[in-house]
């Protein structure tokens, strides 16, 4: 018998084709609240595709994704508004300041007014060590600082599922450490994380899946 609908996020028999290329087939995963799933694999093994699929951007060619037992394909908007997706790109507007960038996305995501959210923004920037440059246009920021600002979005708006694609790219050691802390805190409050990583990400007690054990012949 099928277990009653849980709070988990699951993928079953997922197949991903981009163009005419099959990226991966028959992939299963299962993330429960408080759990992290680390996706590993060589370049081109489909880590990013899996995350975009998990976000609901990319429809699986075969297989199904379920959130709390419900098919995501049936109501993608409901899934969209309960997740954070951090891809390779940081989605920052160079002409706006650090704070303006964060505030824009926080207000768009939560619909909250300026006055109630301003503290959240300040706290998020503080956590990522960006308070000192809050009023600087992001144009002047280093790649690592931009990455931190993108990560601050995870804190500014609380959403249960985090999908992180190479979250540590361009981060320094301290930044990576902060990220691990943020992930741990998120998990301890019942959040879920799926992260594609290439290097090290010392998240304790996480599941791991490895994609494409053999590199595709080009």
> Which residues of the chain form contacts with another protein (CB under 8 A)?
18-22, 52, 55, 57-59, 77, 80-81, 83-85, 87-93, 105, 108-109, 111, 216-218
**C-alpha–C-alpha distance, residues 187 and 44, integer Å:** 28
What pairing do the DSSP bridges indicate for beta strands 36-41 and 21-31? Answer: unpaired
In terms of Cα–Cα distance, which of 196, 204, 182 is closest to 35? 204
Q: How far is the CB of 118 from another protein (least distance, A)?
A: 19
Contacts of residue 101, Cβ cutoff 8 Å, sequence gap at least 6: 92, 93, 138, 149
Of 3 and 217, the one with the shorter C-beta distance to another protein is: 217
Beta bridge partners of 27: 14
In the complex, least distance from residue 153 CB atom to another protein, rounded to whole angstroms: 8
In the complex with another protein, the residue whose CB is nearer, 184 or 212, is: 212
What the block records as the tokens of 1 is 């018998």
Any idea which residue has 């098919």 for tokens? 71
Tokens of 177: 């450490």
3-state helix, strand, coil in the chain (%, to 5): 35, 25, 40
Give the number of other CB atoms < 10 A from CB of residue 126. 14
CB of 218 to another protein, least distance (A): 8
CB of 204 to another protein, least distance (A): 28
C-alpha span between 49 and 29 (Å, rounded) = 14
Give the nearest distance from C-beta 212 to another protein in angstroms. 11
Q: Write down the least CB distance from residue 163 to another protein, Å.
A: 10
């Amino acid at each position: 018998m099928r277990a009653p609908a849980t709070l988990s996020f699951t993928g079953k028999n997922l197949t991903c084709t981009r163009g005419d290329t099959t990226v991966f087939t028959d992939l299963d995963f299962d993330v429960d609240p408080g759990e992290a799933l680390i996706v590993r694999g060589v370049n081109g093994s489909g880590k990013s595709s899996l995350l975009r699929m998990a976000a609901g951007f990319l429809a699986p060619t075969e297989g199904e994704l379920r959130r709390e037992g419900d098919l995501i394909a049936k109501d993608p908007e409901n899934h969209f508004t309960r997740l954070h997706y951090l891809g390779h790109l940081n989605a920052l507007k160079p002409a706006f300041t650090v704070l303006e960038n964060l505030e824009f996305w926080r207000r768009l995501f939560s619909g909250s007014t300026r006055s109630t959210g301003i503290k959240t923004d300040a706290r998020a920037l503080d956590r990522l060590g960006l308070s000192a440059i809050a009023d600087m246009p992001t144009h002047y920021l280093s790649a690592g600082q931009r990455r931190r600002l993108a990560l601050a979005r995870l804190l500014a708006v609380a959403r249960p599922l985090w999908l992180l694609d190479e979250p540590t790219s361009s981060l320094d050691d301290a930044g990576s450490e902060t990220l691990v802390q943020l992930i741990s805190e998120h998990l301890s409050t019942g959040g879920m994380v799926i992260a594609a990583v290439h290097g090290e990400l010392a998240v304790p007690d996480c599941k791991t899946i490895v994609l494409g054990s053999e590199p595709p012949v080009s």
